[in-house]
Structure 1
Amino acid sequence: MAKETPPLDTDLEDLPPELRWREWMGRIEAVIFASATPVPRADLARVVGQGVSVDLLIEDIQAELANRSFEIACVADAWLMRTRVQFADAVRAAADVGDQLTDLNEFEVAVLASIAYHQPLTRDGLKDIFGKDISRDLIGRLRAQELITTGPRSPRAGAPYTYVTTTHFLVVFGMGSLRDLPDREELEDAGLASWHTKVPVVCNW
């Protein structure tokens, strides 16, 4: 008969306050490090004492990682560990890792950006923006890369599906939330305004 694992001691009352806090920090860091996806606050709260601020623990961990090549970042109210932007070229060179968006052409990226700025958005909505039908194959490629998913049904006739971006979209582009989407001036500085001229930068939240 398998031996039951004892419940995790989250309060750590036998430790002095400083060591207790350090143990909680270590647990938070370990959970985030071990996860392949962003870890929600509720999951992190399970490994520390009741009423303990996960946010303060993460702030202390972030301070300790300030001079390291990796960081803990917030994405859609969850946390993940990632290498810092300035080391991206070194990581790609050493591991021969390609950009996650290299399979998308410029037009497909434009469609993705339009969904990001105007979600929830239907294929008819995309047609209004680009002046032509957007193929289901294109939508399928964006879904296959987990950059978009289906959203709520549109209230229009026939209740067509809408499309919205995903948490993975935020991870790929290094954003904490959709509020971090660049404004018009930033798009121009990045050289992206040429294909975005027909897409007013107006967010629906």
Structure 2
Amino acid sequence: MGRPAREINAGLLDTELAALPPELRWREWMTRVEAVIFAASEPVSRELLSQIVGRECSIDLLIEDIASELTARPYEIVAVAGGWQFRTRPRQADVLKAAFGGTVAGADITEGEMLVLASIAYHQPVTRAALSDMLGREVSRDIVGHLRRLDMIASGPRSPQPGAPYTYVTTKKFLEQFGLDTLRELPDLEALEDAGLLNRGAAGVDLALTDDEESSNLPD
């Protein structure tokens, strides 16, 4: 689901551009959409973009045309967390890491924390005790607290287990950080290992979901 649309004062903006010929009208809509996404600090929703173009304008076709024009550029427009955002292309990761330091994901997450985060992502909602059982070692409150401070996880529904412990789920920030539109785009665990973001072999744990778990845990 996209972010709530902001209300735009229709009197300040001619969205239909009826005085322009079709080609120039389309070009102006493309420019507007690109400018808004470029200036935004978070993914821009379809609802917001629809307020700056004509009523009959196809947002999807506009995005396709913008993406086509960016083919040779080091950045691209991607669907993230229910909206669109500009991202540098993956092939530029080594250059950016060399220039600015930090991890590929851009967040201060250790290998152990990444394993916990992946476990939450693939099995949410999940309790801390269940994470400890899954990983074969204690998942400390400090690890959970750090992931919460990074806004990667949040409290989910209370578990039906005795004591009704809290469960944990991933957030929109998690989707944004890893360039995902929905949880159904989570990569195979092997892909995370190949990217150097996860070493589940050390923990001897299999995070892969069964078909039943996938259909129940990962929302559209």
Q: Is this a same-fold pair by TM over 0.5?
A: yes
Contact kept in structure 2, 1:37 and 1:80, CA below 8 Å = yes
| Cα 1:24/1:102, change in 2 over 3 Å | closer
Structure 1 residue 188, shift from structure 2 partner: 5.9
Corresponding pairs, count: 201
Q: Name the residue aligned to 2:102.
A: 98
> What one-letter code is carried by the residue in structure 1 that aligns with 2:102?
G
Measured in 1, the distance between the counterparts of 2:167 and 2:23 equals: 50
Q: Equivalent residue for 1:8?
A: 13
Greater CA deviation, 193-202 or 66-75? 193-202
Q: Which amino acid aligns with 2:69?
A: E
Amino acid at match of 2:201: S
Deviation at 1:102, TM superposition (A): 6.3
Match of 1:183 in 2: 188
**Which has the higher mean CA deviation after the structures are superposed, 52-61 or 4-13?**
4-13
Sort the Cα spacing of 1:101 and 1:59 in 2 relative to 1 into closer, same or farther, 3 A: closer
Give the corresponding residue for 1:53: 58
Letter in 2 for 1:30: A
Shift of 1:165: 1.3
Give the 5 Å matches for 1:47-126.
Answer: 47-94=52-99, 96-99=100-103, 100=105, 103-126=108-131
Over the aligned positions, Cα root-mean-square deviation in angstroms equals 2.3
What is the alpha-carbon distance in structure 1 between the residues aligned to residue 86 and residue 152 of structure 2?
A: 19
| Unaligned 5+ runs, structure 1 | none
What is the distance in 2 between the residues matched to 1:48 and 1:149?
35
> Does the 8 Å contact 1:110/1:195 carry over to 2?
no
Distance change >3 Å, CA 102–CA 54, structure 1 → 2? closer
Q: Is this contact kept in 1: 2:200–2:206, CA < 8 A?
A: no
Contact 2:78-2:85 within 8 A present in 1 as well: yes
Cα separation, 1, equivalents of 2:159 and 2:58: 39
| Cα distance in structure 1, aligned partners of 2:83 and 2:22 | 26
2:131 partner letter? L
For the structure 1 residues 58 and 196, does the alpha-carbon distance in structure 2 shift closer, same or farther, using more than 3 Å as the test? farther
Give yes or no for contact 1:62–1:71 (8 Å, CA) kept in 2. Answer: yes
Taking structure 1 as the reference length, what is the TM-score of the superposition?
0.86
State yes or no: 1:146 paired with 2:151: yes
Hey, which bits of structure 1, 4+ residues long, moved more than 6 A? none
Identity of aligned residues (%): 53
Query: Contact (CA 8 Å) 1:75, 1:170: kept in 2 or not?
Result: yes
Distance 1:33 1:129 in 2: 41
Select which of 166, 169, 173 maps to 1:168. Answer: 173
Alpha-carbon distance change, 195 to 168 in structure 1, aligned in 2, over 3 angstroms: farther
Question: Which of 25, 29, 50 does residue 24 from structure 1 map onto?
Answer: 29
Q: Which residue number corresponds to residue 206 of structure 2?
A: 199
Q: CA deviation at 1:19?
A: 0.9
Any conservation in 1 of the 2:154–2:168 contact (CA below 8 Å)? yes
Secondary structure at the counterpart of residue 199 of structure 1:
coil
Query: Structure 2: 5+ residue runs without aligned partners?
Result: 1-8
User: Could you say if the C-alpha distance between residues 110 and 101 of structure 1 is closer, same or farther in structure 2, counting changes exceeding 3 Å?
Assistant: farther
Q: Is 1:44 aligned to 2:70, yes or no?
A: no
